[in-house]
Structure 1
Amino acid sequence: MDMKMKIDPWGTLDIEDYSKLFDEFGISPIEDVYSDIPSPHKFMRRNIVFGHRNYNLIVDAMNKGEPFSVISGFMPSGMVHLGGKMVMDEIIWHQQMGADAFVGIADREAYAVRGLSWDKCRELGINEYILSLIALGFEPDGHIYFQSKCDNVKNMAFELGSKTNYSELSAIYGFGGETNVSHMISTLTQSADILQPQLKEFDGPKPTVVPVGADQDPHIRLTRGLAHKMNMLRIETREDNNGNQYFSIRNKSAPEYVLKQIKKHAPGKSKVFEGHVDIFGTDDFEAILDIVRQVELEAGGYSFVPPVATYHRFMSGLQGGKMSSSDPDSYIALTEDPKEGAKKVKRSKTGGCVSLEEQKKLGGNPKNCSVYELLMFHLIDDDKQLTEIYDECVSGTRMCGSCKKYTAELMSEFLKDHQEKRELAKERLDEYGLGEYRKYVH
């Protein structure tokens, strides 16, 4: 793939070499922070989560017991499948690790991009996404909402619109003259989703992680830029003529009095100039940041922390190639009949050889096997067991037929259990503040 192409969040993205994303878009490998992550999720252990942007902020918060949030969303345009489950699993793990968890149902996006009615968006949002999210373990202390019904998000999207323009959105998303205005507004709504956990009513600025596939990176890049633009103040590190480091707090849009407030609370020696205040004699950036953040909040600003992101690899389709919502044979939905799900596993593409004799002699290729992916991504939590399956495959002692049968049984069991939990979730909507949507449940 030519990584000079625009990444399209609404298209299908097939990445053969994920390492290109590190150089092309500035994504960092997860290995940079992995050793400091407490009890890493299996996606991290297995390098399914392969990259990040500033995830060290989240890791620090976990280790220090400090506040942090997780936010992601789902466009309710069809059946939720195992690809969507990946994001749900990551949200729930972060919630278990102490995050204040947010999930937005992107009905504004579905209305603008897919042309679905509001009622259809809510029906799909509840029946496909929210019930599965609850069934997988999302706790009621989190926040689930529809974009179209969330005043915070709608108001923030309007404010963010004053900090960007058509040219910037076109450069990020490839919008052209035919792009409808609602589609453009939906991108700002997504940015508002991502920044909502940092509003005062949710205890203000804090590191916030967005678990996504690489195709959603344009939303992350846009929102990180908007977070910087929305902040009233900027901290710069500078050197004087003698090479001594000092901090310069630059005023972007705050009332002038805030500079005097910063000087009043700043450690070390400080001096106010027109448009900035310089602080000398300290290297304590965190102390300066806390002061600047508090002063900005008192002045009515946001002092956003630019959002953090983790990026996961895509599952391939059951028949190889891309997993596509337009091709039912390429995926297994969470609402799929368990027997049909098992049949799909048995019909799926493997990395085995043409003949049994050749398989025993040469072994299989689990790295090119959709059945092994199902085990690795969703059906086996024990790393040792997964390694044993991998070794048996490449050594030629594990045959594709028996492996498919085993995986099909696990898939059937998972779907049956999950769907039983979905039925229980229907009775729990009030716990999540979603009782008004009960009429859409079927």
Structure 2
Amino acid sequence: MAKISIDPWGYFSVKDYDELIGQFGIEPFTDELLSKIPEPNKLMRRKVVFAHTDFGRVVDAIIQKKEFYALTGIMPTLEQIHLGTKLVIENMRFFQEHGAKTFVLVADLEAAATREVSLEESRQRALDFHIPAYIALGLDPKKTVFYFQSTNEKVKNLAFIFSNKVTLNEYRAIYGNTEPARMMSSILQAGDILFPQLEVRMPGVIPVGPDQSVHILLSRDIVNRTKSTFNFIPPSGLYNKFTPSLDGDLKMSKSKPQSCITIPDDINEACKKIRRALSGARKTLADHRKYGAIPEKDMCFQLLAQHFIEDDKELKRIYDEYKAGKMTTGEIKDITCEKLTEFMKDFERKFEKAKKIVPNLKFIQ
């Protein structure tokens, strides 16, 4: 198998998730591993979570009720988030509910270096939108530690210490890109990922899309090279599939707004996009009734499975009826619009409440 290069700031060219297994320390998320997880969430049950790195040690910590942490970040470039971000927060919420010390960082330094967003602009966007959005999506603010990269001196100190532990050739082999701004950002991310262990050495999990897996690989390499100094525990990764584009591409992208749903989004416009989404139905109603749909190729069914239906029995009923040709593509699009509308209205209500909480949050300095 050819070595894959992943640019976490650019286009993700992998066409099949199986291509990633065995590379970058990525292992398949097996039924055996799933069976060990207490009360797995729907993303785990439905294999939206498809791979991991050393996740077993986190499962052991959950079962044994030992200390562990979960960490994610905010890239404050726009005042909206991608549906895919919702998957990450759902996994973060799972870990928080199972005892994880929860950390959310605002990547304002990375945004300045790689996206040319000022620190002031990043801070305002994070406070006005991103942090309340994460709370609205289910994170408990009382159990979550928030910080900005620019004001967390310990993270920056770690990054400086880590900077001489990776050679240019090694960095090029992992990222395929050696722009100074991106190199600095990736080393800083290693500081973020390992920062929670400064006080207590404990397992940690970083739930991300597969395009971010290289940051975990770099952090694990740094752990091995700083063992005599820090004795950190290598961080684990949990990787979810992307939310597919409504036109059938592997990854929904803001660069194709007609095939992308954001949070928030205009409900009427979002439903119009859903009406135009790639269908798994047959070309004619007669063929559809005779042969049934292919739910796996239907983008509305993918939205229901990943985001909008919690109950497995309800999802299976839709799958079975659609696959048998009893449910039409129009009917599954109606269901998707209805579920999307419920979600967006619920998010808006929770978001307004969360905005009132943000001024009282204490950030790490």
Fold match (TM-score > 0.5): yes
**Counterparts of 1:350 and 1:388, CA distance in 2:** 18
**Which letter maps to 1:186?**
S
**Aligned equivalent of 1:153, options 139, 148, 155:** 155
**Which letter maps to 2:207?**
P
Q: What is the SS of the residue equivalent to 1:24?
A: coil
**Which letter maps to 2:220?**
R
Number of the residue aligned with 1:287:
none
CA gap of 1:36–1:317, structure 2 versus 1, over 3 A, is same
- The answer to whether the 8 A contact 2:190-2:219 is kept is yes
Instruction: Could you tell me which runs of 5 or more consecutive residues in structure 2 were left unpaired when the two chains were aligned.
Output: none
Number of the residue aligned with 2:173:
171
**Counterparts of 1:352 and 1:366, CA distance in 2:** 8
CA gap of 1:93–1:432, structure 2 versus 1, over 3 A, is farther
Q: What is the SS of the residue equivalent to 2:318?
A: helix
Q: What is the SS of the residue equivalent to 1:52?
A: strand
CA gap of 1:14–1:386, structure 2 versus 1, over 3 A, is farther
1:216 aligns with 2:144: no
- The answer to whether the 8 A contact 1:72-1:211 is kept is yes
**Which letter maps to 1:396?**
G
| Cα shift at 1:335 | 1.4
State the TM-score, normalizing by the size of structure 2: 0.94
Larger radius of gyration: 1
Q: What is the SS of the residue equivalent to 1:324?
A: coil
Instruction: Report runs of 4+ in structure 1 exceeding 3 Å deviation.
Output: none
Write the deviation string for residues 198-248 of structure 1: whole angstroms up to 9, x where unpaired. Answer: 011xxx10000011111111101100000111110xxxxxxxxxxxxxxxx
**Counterparts of 1:80 and 1:3, CA distance in 2:** 33
| Cα shift at 1:3 | 5.2
- The answer to whether the 8 A contact 1:128-1:335 is kept is no
Write the deviation string for residues 52-82 of structure 1: whole angstroms up to 9, x where unpaired. Answer: 1111111111111100000121322233021
Q: What is the SS of the residue equivalent to 2:105?
A: strand
1:162 aligns with 2:164: yes
1:43 aligns with 2:43: yes
| Cα shift at 1:121 | 1.7
Number of the residue aligned with 1:183:
182
Instruction: Point out the more displaced range, 391-400 or 120-129.
Output: 120-129
| Cα shift at 1:124 | 2.9
**Counterparts of 2:323 and 2:311, CA distance in 1:** 19
Number of the residue aligned with 1:245:
none
- The answer to whether the 8 A contact 2:42-2:310 is kept is yes
Number of the residue aligned with 1:308:
236
**Counterparts of 1:119 and 1:10, CA distance in 2:** 21
Instruction: Could you tell me which runs of 5 or more consecutive residues in structure 1 were left unpaired when the two chains were aligned.
Output: 233-300, 437-442
**Which letter maps to 2:214?**
P
Q: What is the SS of the residue equivalent to 2:192?
A: helix
1:388 aligns with 2:312: no
| Cα shift at 1:105 | 1.6
1:39-438 matches, cutoff 5 A? 39-78=39-78, 79-139=80-140, 140-176=142-178, 179=179, 181-200=180-199, 204-232=200-228, 301-321=229-249, 322-433=251-362
**Counterparts of 2:254 and 2:96, CA distance in 1:** 28
Q: Which has the bigger relative contact order, CA under 8 A and spacing at least 6?
A: 2
Number of the residue aligned with 2:6:
7
| Cα shift at 1:113 | 1.2
**Which letter maps to 1:411?**
L
RMSD: 1.8
- The answer to whether the 8 A contact 1:212-1:309 is kept is yes
**Counterparts of 2:219 and 2:363, CA distance in 1:** 27
- The answer to whether the 8 A contact 2:131-2:358 is kept is no
Number of the residue aligned with 1:16:
15
Q: What is the SS of the residue equivalent to 2:340?
A: helix
| Cα shift at 1:364 | 0.9
State the TM-score, normalizing by the size of structure 1: 0.78
- The answer to whether the 8 A contact 2:25-2:217 is kept is no
Write the deviation string for residues 72-114 of structure 1: whole angstroms up to 9, x where unpaired. Answer: 2132223302111111111111001100011112121111111
| Cα shift at 1:432 | 2.7
**Counterparts of 1:435 and 1:132, CA distance in 2:** 20
**Counterparts of 2:364 and 2:109, CA distance in 1:** 20
| Cα shift at 1:20 | 2.6
**Which letter maps to 2:232?**
F
